[in-house]
């Protein structure tokens, strides 16, 4: 899971940052046409997801990964809806769409995996927080 999160972080952060900084130039990497505004919107999603993957990898806490998993699955579902609605605008013969679909599959698998992880206190692993009883002012 850690390696997958690292790979996803890079795959999502690099094009996401490029779409935010130079949206029209970076839009040539996308399997359909993007305007500067939609390129930045997609870039914001990608940077957010990439940062969440990197943060989850760095923190390694199972009890906090549910939101990342839910966000990843939601993003994939929204992309599938967009593909169903605007599939005619996609260049289905190119390598870009194959890479795009591969990333969607990896993101969906990661999201489902993160949602399936147990998040109970006993399953939190070595990074769980140990709560000490309050001393109520006594030494």
Per-residue pLDDT of the chain (139 residues; tens, 9 = 90+): 778 888 888 988 999 999 999 999 988 888 878 899 999 998 998 898 889 888 888 877 666 677 788 888 998 999 899 889 988 888 788 788 888 888 899 889 888 988 888 765 444 444 555 455 555 544 3
CA distance 75 to 52: 13
Whether 50 maps to a domain, the answer reads yes
Per DSSP, the residues of 5-67 read HHHHHHHHHHHHHHHHHSHHHHGGGSSS---HHHHHHHHHHHHHHHHHHHHHHHH--GGG-HH
* Domain presence at residue 43: yes
Q: What is the domain count for the chain?
A: 1
Range of the domain at 98: 2-120
Q: Give the pLDDT confidence score for residue 123 in this predicted structure.
A: 45
Query: Degrees (nearest 5) of the Cα angle 92, 89, 21?
Result: 95
Tokens of 48: 């957010």
Residue 95 forms part of a structural domain: yes
Stated pTM of the model? 0.69
Q: Which pLDDT score is estimated for 29?
A: 83
Q: Rounded to the nearest 5°, which phi and psi values hold at 127?
A: -95, 5
b/e for 20-33, b at 16 or more Cβ within 10 A? beebeebbeebbbe
Does the residue 107 lie in any domain? yes
Determine, yes or no, domain membership for 127: no
Question: What's the confidence (pLDDT) of residue 98?
Answer: 87
Q: How far apart are CA 20 and CA 26, in angstroms?
A: 9
User: Does any domain span residue 33?
Assistant: yes
Rounded-to-integer distance, Cα 36 and Cα 16, Å:
13
Cα 102 to Cα 27: distance, rounded to the nearest angstrom = 18
CA distance 91 to 137: 68
């Amino acid at each position: 899971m850690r390696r997958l999160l690292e790979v996803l972080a890079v795959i999502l952060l690099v094009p996401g940052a490029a779409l935010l900084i130079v949206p029209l130039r970076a839009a040539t990497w996308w399997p359909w046409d993007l305007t500067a505004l939609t390129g930045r919107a997609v870039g914001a999603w990608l940077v957010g997801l990439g940062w969440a993957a990197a943060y989850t990898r760095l923190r390694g806490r199972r009890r906090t990964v549910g939101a990342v998993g839910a966000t990843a699955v939601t993003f994939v579902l929204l992309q599938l809806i967009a593909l169903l609605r605007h599939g005619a605008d996609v260049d289905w013969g190119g390598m870009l769409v194959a890479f795009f679909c591969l990333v969607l599959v990896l993101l969906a698998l990661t999201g489902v995996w993160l949602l399936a992880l147990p998040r109970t206190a006993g399953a939190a692993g070595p990074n769980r927080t140990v709560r000490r009883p309050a001393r109520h002012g006594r030494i």
